[in-house]
């Protein structure tokens, strides 16, 4: 049996979802997962048998926006403390278990441990961040293009030395790379998504994060006064606004659970923040999306730009979100093509490196 060491960022659940889809595609392999934060808890809740906790960096927020000064301090502290501990832990485990391949999803310890142990030609990067390092994004507005270039430099430093990079993003067919060691593919989707057929029960699925929860919820509430429609809402912030809206029959508030996939497959359309993973799932199912990037999360702003460009949906910044945007979106028709699961290209690359 081939054994894989897989490091992934614990910030948000997109990395965890991608990793689970890869694990599903490799049933004959033993995959040891190294992570932290939300991803660690996610795998822990599934009782995943080969789970290892490592140190990592979670984004600090201030007034609903990423605190970049606080983030810089955390990175410096991690660089001289947590990173060293992680490399030692991974190296010790690797000397005992002898993995065939090392994989990193924007996790910096795994590539450094692989290089230290002489496995540099067995290191694969699987994420969406490397699009900033290896792809032509010249169609972006100037400010976002500048951010993408800076992020590309940071990505090369954060995840160095990959023998091959798989870039998974919902707009893979609208970007290009000239590198032979880079594979572009659609979003990586879990097996339960492939096994859940798309239908339309006529409701709007809403996925919220704290930074934009009240802004979007208020717009939905005001739009619902004169516009008929049903809304199933995940992730809303607790508070008086949620308590008020929950009394309206057209709104159903639900905790994050495995039922989210069923609701995604059966909804008419989606309103959410602009995370790559959920947008990939929307494109797979052909669900129109109204995306509201989190303030200060410029990667989400770039995602929102491509949602609009490929015809999948509508981009709206938080400061402009209102009932009229919601009403207009409820009439929007998706013109993008549905794309197959990108996980099989990742499987192909990994098996090539055994």
Q: For domain 3-187+341-352, which CATH number applies: 3.40.1640.10, 3.20.20.70, 3.40.50.2000, 3.30.300.30?
A: 3.40.50.2000
Domain ranges for the chain, please list them.
3-187+341-352, 193-329
Half-sphere exposure of 221 (CA within 13 A, CB side): 16
Q: Are 86 and 54 in contact (CB under 8 A)?
A: yes
Question: Comparing 3-187+341-352 with 193-329, is the CATH topology the same?
Answer: yes
The three-state secondary structure class of 77 is: helix
Q: Which of 14, 33, 8, 27 is nearest to 351 (CA)?
A: 27
Q: Mind listing the pLDDT tens digit for each residue in 245-304?
A: 889 999 999 988 888 999 999 999 999 999 999 999 999 999 999 999 999 889 999 999
Q: Are 16 and 340 in contact (CB under 8 A)?
A: no
In the structure, what pLDDT confidence band is assigned to residue 60 with cuts at 50, 70 and 90?
low
User: Does the reported pTM lie above 0.85?
Assistant: yes
Query: Is the model's pLDDT at 40 over the cut of 70?
Result: yes
Q: Are 332 and 308 in contact (CB under 8 A)?
A: no
In the structure, what pLDDT confidence band is assigned to residue 64 with cuts at 50, 70 and 90?
low
Percentage of the residues of the chain whose pLDDT score is greater than 90? 78
Distance, in Å, from the CA atom of 9 to the CA atom of 78, rounded to the nearest integer, reads 13
Fold of the 193-329 domain = Rossmann fold (3.40.50)
Distance, in Å, from the CA atom of 130 to the CA atom of 128, rounded to the nearest integer, reads 6
Q: Mind listing the pLDDT tens digit for each residue in 121-173?
A: 999 999 999 999 999 999 999 999 999 999 999 999 999 989 999 999 999 99
Q: Which of 34, 13, 141 is nearest to 82 (CA)?
A: 34
């Amino acid at each position: 049996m081939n054994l894989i060491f897989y490091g992934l960022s614990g910030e948000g659940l997109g990395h965890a979802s991608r990793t689970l889809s890869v694990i599903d595609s490799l049933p004959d392999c033993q995959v040891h997962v190294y992570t932290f934060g939300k991803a660690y808890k996610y795998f822990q809740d599934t009782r995943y048998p080969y789970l290892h906790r490592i140190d990592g960096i979670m984004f600090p927020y201030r007034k609903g926006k990423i605190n970049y000064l606080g983030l810089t301090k955390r990175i410096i502290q991690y660089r001289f403390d947590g990173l060293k501990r992680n490399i030692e832990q991974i190296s010790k485990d690797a000397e005992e278990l002898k993995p065939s391949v090392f994989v990193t999803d924007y996790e910096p310890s795994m590539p450094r441990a692989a290089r230290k142990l002489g496995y540099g030609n067995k290191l694969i990067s699987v994420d969406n961040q490397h699009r900033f390092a290896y792809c032509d994004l010249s169609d972006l507005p100037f400010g976002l293009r500048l951010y993408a270039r800076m992020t590309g430099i940071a990505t090369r430093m954060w995840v160095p030395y990959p023998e091959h990079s798989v870039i998974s993003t919902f707009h893979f067919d609208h970007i290009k790379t000239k590198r032979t060691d880079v594979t572009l593919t659609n979003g990586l989707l879990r097996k339960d998504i492939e096994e859940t057929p798309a239908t339309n029960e006529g409701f709007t699925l809403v996925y919220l994060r704290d930074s934009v929860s009240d802004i979007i919820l208020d717009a939905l509430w005001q739009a619902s006064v004169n516009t008929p429609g049903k809304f199933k809402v995940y992730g809303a912030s607790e508070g008086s606004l949620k308590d008020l809206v929950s009394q309206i029959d057209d709104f159903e508030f639900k905790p994050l659970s495995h039922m989210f996939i069923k609701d995604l497959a059966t909804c008419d359309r989606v309103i959410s923040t602009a995370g790559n993973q959920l947008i990939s799932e929307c494109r797979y199912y052909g669900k129109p999306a109204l995306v509201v990037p989190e303030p200060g999360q410029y990667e989400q702003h770039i995602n929102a730009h491509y949602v609009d460009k490929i015809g999948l949906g509508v981009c709206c910044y938080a400061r402009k979100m209102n009932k009229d945007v919601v009403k207009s979106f409820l009439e929007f028709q998706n013109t993008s093509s549905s794309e197959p699961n990108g996980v099989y290209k990742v499987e192909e690359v990994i098996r090539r490196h055994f």
